Structure 1
Amino acid sequence: MRRLHRVRRILNYVNLSTPLGLLVARLGRARMSAGPDGLVLGHGYRIPFPVAGAFTVGNVVLTRHDEGYLTGALLRHEDRHAWQYVICAGLPMLPLYLVAVAVSILICGNQAAWNVFERLAVLEDGNYARRPPWWSRTKGQQQE
């Protein structure tokens, strides 16, 4: 593991986001395994919230899917979210993320397309589509 990833792992423990992620994983009865670059992967998460293919809390990446789902572009997307916890000093990321969801819904009616955290993590890598703001859509786009 590179030094930068070790630093991220330490900072996300100290800022309490990774311990919260481990608690969420335990409550959701996810099967845990070590992932790349200091991430912890949790498969088979059983709580129906949040509605996403995968989500990250600190260095813990959780999914309802089986092993093998968290790979490639999706795992890179979630890895970027782990860095966002460092930048946001841990737990403040959660309310900031909720504000970003609300802003995105107001702008385009979608939770991710204009969410600054999802955009910085590369929307397409997280399996999200880009959508124009509601005020710039043509009539055909309005019905999507």
Structure 2
Amino acid sequence: MRRFHRVRRTLNYVNLSTPLGLLVVRLGRATRAPGPDGLILAYGYRIPFPIAGAFTVGNVVLTRREEGSLGEDLLRHEGRHASQYMACAGLPMLPLYVVAAAVSVVICGDLASWNVFERLANLEDGNYTRKSPWWFRSKSS
């Protein structure tokens, strides 16, 4: 594991985002497995919120999918979110993400296309599509 990933793993434990992620794993009755770059993968998450193929809390990547079903691109995307938790000092990432998702909805009508966190994590790696802002869309007669 690279030094950066060791630092990220440590800081995300200290800033309490990874412990919160582990609590979410337990509440969602998911199965944990070690992942790449210091990530913890949690498969079989059972709570219907949030609506996403996978989501990250600290260094914990949760999904409703079966073990081994996360592709390299999606893991890279979720790893970038783990780094964002580190950069946002942990738990402040949660309300900041909600605000960014709301801004994206206002701009283009979906939660990800103009969400700064999703854009910085590479939308395409997260299986999101880029949508134009509403003011650039052509109007059909």
Task: Say yes or no: does 1:114 pair with 2:114.
Answer: yes
Structure 1 residue 22, shift from structure 2 partner: 0.2
Determine the C-alpha separation between the residues in 1 that align with 2:72 and 2:37. Answer: 13
Determine the C-alpha separation between the residues in 2 that align with 1:110 and 1:68. Answer: 28
Task: Say yes or no: does 1:15 pair with 2:15.
Answer: yes
Determine the C-alpha separation between the residues in 1 that align with 2:13 and 2:7. Answer: 10
Determine the C-alpha separation between the residues in 1 that align with 2:3 and 2:68. Answer: 26
1:1-144 pair list within 5 angstroms: 1-139=1-139
- Normalised to the residue count of structure 1, the TM-score between the two structures is 0.96
**SS of aligned partner of 1:139:** coil
Determine the C-alpha separation between the residues in 2 that align with 1:105 and 1:12. Answer: 28
Percent identity for Structure 1 against Structure 2: 75
CA deviation string 1:72-119 (max 9, x = no partner)? 100000000000000000000000000000000000000000000000
**SS of aligned partner of 1:61:** strand
Runs of 4+ in 1 over 2 A off after TM superposition: none
Which structure 1 segments of 5+ residues have no match? none
The aligned amino acid for 1:97 is Y
The aligned amino acid for 2:90 is G
Structure 1 residue 63, shift from structure 2 partner: 0.2
Which structure 2 segments of 5+ residues have no match? none
Determine the C-alpha separation between the residues in 2 that align with 1:94 and 1:2. Answer: 26
Structure 1 residue 139, shift from structure 2 partner: 2.5
Cα RMSD of the aligned pairs, angstroms, is: 0.7
